[in-house]
Amino acid sequence: YALVAEVMLFSEGFEDAKNLSRKMVQLYKLASEQLSQQDHYDFGMRALKSVLVMAGALKRSNPDLSEDIVLIRAIRDSNIPKFLSEDARLFNAIVGDLFPGVTIPVTDYGALQLAVDGACRHAGLQPVPSFSTKVIQLYETFNVRFGVMLVGPAGGGKTRCYQTLKTAMTQLRKDGNPDTNYQAVHTAVLNPKSIKMGELYGEYNVLTNEWQDGLASCIIRACVAESTNEDRRWVVFDGPVDAIWVENMNTVLDDNCTLCLPNAERIKLNPVTMRMLFEVADLAVASPATVSRCGMVYVPPDCVGWKPYVKSWLATLTSAHGLVANDNQQNLQAIEAAFTASRRNSTVGDKEGAAGQVDENAQDELPMDDAGGSGELHEGVPATAAAMAAQSSMYQS
């Protein structure tokens, strides 16, 4: 790994490639050993290559930056999106140990950040910083990987994440942004587990021996035919990922970007304008070959919190019932106070329940008197304390 990383860094224009490659390999080794074991984590050669490609692009766009800063930024942009919050803190600590004293400047996304916030407001959502960060991480992952997986439990905001990015990029193109990476986006969404394998990729008719295209092959063929302009086209597989159907996508997710059908037809995808997006809850049954071929963006269930949902709900009430903003603010404060009181009562109830359980256990451990009940051996002294005192005096004598 170190030799491959060194050669690639040299080819990307890094002068201190030898030391940087060693640090990078050591970083991935420590991360694989110390971070938690998740199904969507991958620290193999493909992940290493994507980081090096991103580092080369960052160096060409920022030639005056230090090579350490360029590599660290590429490592963070490629790995932080897939980490859990606890693992992200540990990963940043490992990076700080391997690159001591290096301060990373804050990246200003400027027009994209404003467009993401505007897309959230246009969709009736709240521009929460943590959600906007996930949208930008998805954009950065799209720039270095042909296949991307949005991983996280239902209700976390995965669908809204890519829809917000789609709206933001399309709006930036309408506004005439000079960055050519911002193009209009078209999506085609399907659930691969709702149909059979033959209906997904195509199959021969057993009676007539005629070939009939599947849903995925038709969508991908149409996207290839329409990819003559600069518009971006995302094929979204919204459903569970398993080895039954996704293994046929391995050639698509490779550098070849070619879909091989059962009738020996090969469909070459455009690696510039097309992307494969998988929206899944987990990758428990996905093979390591599939995981290593895709970029990962983990959307945690607590990414947004409860308050933005309530604000959006109150905004719908405002438009439907003619409420004013002050009423919304008062309602939000009342709901927050109710949540706080409920949480406090729940905490107090748990403590009282635990205390009652302790009292019951202590009552069960009391020694029995001659009448068969628990009593006190000496006046004013509990039975257990008196027994302990008697036992202690016996040991002393």
Q: Model confidence over 67-121: pLDDT tens digits?
A: 888 888 888 888 889 898 889 999 989 988 888 888 877 777 888 999 999 999 9
| Helix, coil or strand: residue 134 | helix
Per-residue pLDDT, 190: 92
Take residue 285 and report the two structure tokens written for it: 């049954």
Q: How confident is the model over 251-305, as pLDDT tens digits?
A: 898 888 899 988 888 999 988 899 999 999 988 888 888 888 888 999 988 877 7
Q: Which residue has the higher pLDDT, 353 or 394?
A: 353
Q: What is the rounded distance in angstroms from the CA atom of residue 395 to the CA atom of residue 397? A: 6
138: phi then psi, degrees, rounded to nearest 5? -65, -40
Q: Which amino acid is located at 228 in the chain?
A: T
Residue 378 has pLDDT above 50, yes or no: no
Residue 346's Cβ-count burial label (10 Å; 0-12, 13-18, 19+) is: exposed
pLDDT band for 329, please (50, 70, 90 cuts): low
Smallest Cα–Cα separation from 62: which of 16, 107, 122, 26?
107
Per-residue pLDDT, 277: 94
Q: How confident is the model over 192-232, as pLDDT tens digits?
A: 999 888 899 999 988 888 888 899 999 999 999 987 788 99
53 touches 77 (CB < 8 A):
no
Residue 388 has pLDDT above 60, yes or no: no
Strands 211-213 and 202-204: antiparallel
Q: Which amino acid is located at 39 in the chain?
A: D
Helices (runs of H) and strands (runs of E) counted in the chain: 15, 9
271 touches 146 (CB < 8 A):
yes
Residue 142 has pLDDT above 70, yes or no: yes
Residue 176's Cβ-count burial label (10 Å; 0-12, 13-18, 19+) is: exposed
Q: Which amino acid is located at 316 in the chain?
A: T
The partner residues of 212 in beta bridges, in order of sequence, read: 203
Take residue 40 and report the two structure tokens written for it: 């969507």
**pTM recorded for the entire structure:** 0.79
* Measured CA distances, 230 to 178, 184, 185, 275, 277 (Å): 14, 8, 9, 13, 19
pLDDT band for 320, please (50, 70, 90 cuts): low
Residue 349 has pLDDT above 80, yes or no: no
| Helix, coil or strand: residue 259 | strand
| Helix, coil or strand: residue 176 | coil
242 touches 286 (CB < 8 A):
yes
Flag the least confident range among 78-87, 147-156, 322-331, 378-387.
Answer: 378-387
Mean pLDDT of the chain: 81
